[in-house]
Amino acid sequence: MASNPASIFQTESESKAFDLDHRKIINYNINKYDSAVKVGTARFNNLENSKRKGYSLKWKVMENLDKYLPEFEANFQRKGGKVIWANNEEEAQQEIWKILSEVNAKKVIKSKSMTTEEVDLNEFLEKHGVESIESDLGEYIVQLLGQKPYHIVTPAMHLNLASISKLFNEKFNTPIDATPEQLTLKARELLRDKYLQADVGITGANFLIADTGSIALTENEGNIRLSTTFPKIHIAIVGIEKIIPSLSDLDLYWPLLSSHGTGQNLTVYNSIIGGPRQAGETDGPERMYVILLDNGRTNVLAQKDQRQALYCIRCGACLNACPIYKNIGGHTYNTTYSGPIGSMITPHMKGMEAFKHLSYASSLCGKCTEVCPVKIDIHNMLLANRRDAVKAGLTPTMERIGWKVFSKTITRRSLLDKFGGKTKNWFLRNFFRKSWGKHRDLPVVAEKSFSKQWKEKNQETPT
């Protein structure tokens, strides 16, 4: 049985690539997304200019994180909130547990958040006897299935109506042929009381706003507003790269995120939260915490050629554009962040030795770079990851020897011509058969090289 991430990835990706039902579902859903995004991005007067502006502003932020993060902290705490810094997954878990323990919290309502997935929060809370319920419909569905989100934006993209209806029928005795409207109403019925019963609401944040000390959240279901309003305590766990300088920058980033994420002008609900409920306010939490999560992000920041990966606004556009993702899906990556951007950042966040294989899971077609709303050069950064893995000596010994022999041979025509077609085909069969894959036929090398054929032909041709 596969025992390391690379072996698991190879086994599962081969299985998923030839699962025609799976591919049919995700390609259907991605095609719907493509149509919506085409309409959404067409509404920009000058999309390319907006992308450039988004890139340059993110560059400015990443080069000055030491300025903007303390500015956010000071402004947020001035309004009664508390900022907690977490270096890694364990620290984030323990800080959240401290808050929950103080109030003897037994029930948590969560909104969709990739950072909470990143620190395995649901599993952690379950071990400590705390009920943690996802309030986003897609997240709620995959939680019921005991799965992780399949996609950064669309957690249940791999499921169709029939499979969700079957799930709800088994769990809640809804009709086996229930319509989407019926399923949504059932989920609403089940979740409404959870907001009222929850001791703590936990969210992520799309952006941290430095000059106002606020977090910005964007959604389509209204569950975030309920998760941040009803519970007495609100905890937001956010990656340090989500910082933007000013409230006015949302004018750029919110439309870029919504148009590339779902094809909308703006998502339905957009909230800016700047701390706990103030005197005279009628709703909101009594206490609010923002946990600023590193968890390997400074490792990415330290890479000169790859640090622009931190510009990502988590729209999911690169996943939907990627031919690899379209064939093997999101769960195959076995990481929080899948697709091209996940393949880029995961080796730095979780270890290059264990996850370098993801940087090779790319055709390098450049489509991910083309669709990125903040012009991240993703495919070239994947190449940089490959380079770094080789420089660090993380490739197998036989692979290094093989490439040295190949390089020496292929760059010397006289040496290449010494080997006939039979010898070359023997090498292909014995050294490349496994990597080429069992579903494709190996190419067959001609018995004589082009150089020999050319010489023979010209010798036979009378002058």
Categorize the per-residue pLDDT at 108 as very low, low, confident or very high, splitting at 50, 70 and 90: very high
290 touches 275 (CB < 8 A): no
pLDDT digits (tens, 9 = 90+) for 298-353: 999 999 999 999 999 999 999 999 999 999 999 999 999 999 999 999 999 999 99
Comparing 137 with 281, the larger pLDDT belongs to 137
- For the chain, how many structural domains are there in total? 2
CB 74, CB 212: distance < 8 Å = no
Q: Give the total residue count for the chain.
A: 463
State pLDDT tens for residues 147-197.
999 999 999 999 999 999 999 999 999 999 999 999 999 999 999 999 999
Q: Please, how many CA atoms are within 13 Å of residue 229, restricted to the half-sphere of its CB?
A: 11
414 and 275 within one domain? no
Residue 3 pLDDT grade (very low, low, confident, very high; cuts 50, 70, 90): low
Residues 282 and 414 in one domain: no
Residue 192: both structure tokens together:
């409404």
Gap between the Cα atoms of 143 and 189, Å rounded? 17
| Residue ranges making up the domain that contains 54 | 43-295
Q: Would you say 135 and 194 are in contact if contact means Cβ atoms under 8 Å apart?
A: yes
133 in a structural domain: yes
pLDDT at 457: 85
**pLDDT tens per residue across span 14-27:** 899 999 999 999 99
Whether residue 133 is found in the same domain as residue 265: yes
Q: Are residues 291 and 402 in the same domain?
A: no
Nearest alpha-carbon partner for 454 in 410, 409, 415, 417: 417
User: Percent of the chain scored above 90 by pLDDT?
Assistant: 82
Q: What is the mean pLDDT of residues 372-395?
A: 95
Kindly give the pairing relationship between strand 207-209 and strand 214-219.
Answer: antiparallel
**Confidence label for 1 from pLDDT (cuts 50, 70 and 90):** very low
Q: 64 and 176 in one domain?
A: yes
- What pLDDT digit, counting tens, does each position of 71-84 carry? 999 999 999 999 99
What pLDDT, on the 0 to 100 scale, is given for residue 452? 80
Given 262, 295, 328, which residue is the final one in a domain? 295
pLDDT digits (tens, 9 = 90+) for 111-136: 999 999 999 999 999 999 999 999 99
Look at 401 and 66; give whichever has higher pLDDT. 66
| Boundary (domain end) residue, out of 239, 270, 295 | 295
Answer whether 207's CB lies under 8 Å from 250's CB.
yes
107, 235: one domain: yes
Q: Note whether 413 and 265 are same-domain residues.
A: no
Q: What is the pLDDT of residue 277?
A: 93
Nearest to 145 by CA among 167, 172, 112: 167
Domain boundary among 260, 295, 330: 295
Same domain assignment for residues 132 and 266: yes
Task: Classify residue 304: in a domain, yes or no.
Answer: no
Q: What's the confidence (pLDDT) of residue 2? A: 46
pLDDT at 109 over 50: yes
CATH of the domain at 245: 3.40.50.10420
Residue 302, domain member (yes or no): no
Q: Do 199 and 108 meet the contact criterion of CB atoms below 8 Å apart?
A: yes
460 pLDDT tier (thresholds 50, 70, 90): low
Q: What is the mean pLDDT of the chain?
A: 93
Are residues 250 and 103 part of one domain? yes
How many other C-beta atoms lie within 10 A of the C-beta of residue 298?
16
Cα separation, 361 vs 382, whole angstroms: 9
Coil, helix or strand for 304? coil
What pTM did the predictor assign? 0.91
149 contacts: CB under 8 Å, gap ≥ 6? 114, 117, 138, 139, 142, 155, 330
Q: Domain check: are 266 and 405 in the same one?
A: no
Identify whether 300 is part of a domain. no
Residues 6+ away with beta carbon under 8 Å from 101: none
| Tens-place pLDDT, residues 354-371 | 999 999 999 999 999 999
Residue 375 lies in a domain: no
Per-residue model confidence as pLDDT tens digits over 421-456: 788 888 888 877 777 777 788 888 888 878 788 888
Is 280's pLDDT higher than 90? no
195, 189, 250: which is closest to 228 by C-alpha? 195
CB 126 within 8 A of CB 95: no
- The yes-or-no verdict on residue 388 having pLDDT over 90 is yes
Whether 290 and 436 map to the same domain: the answer is no
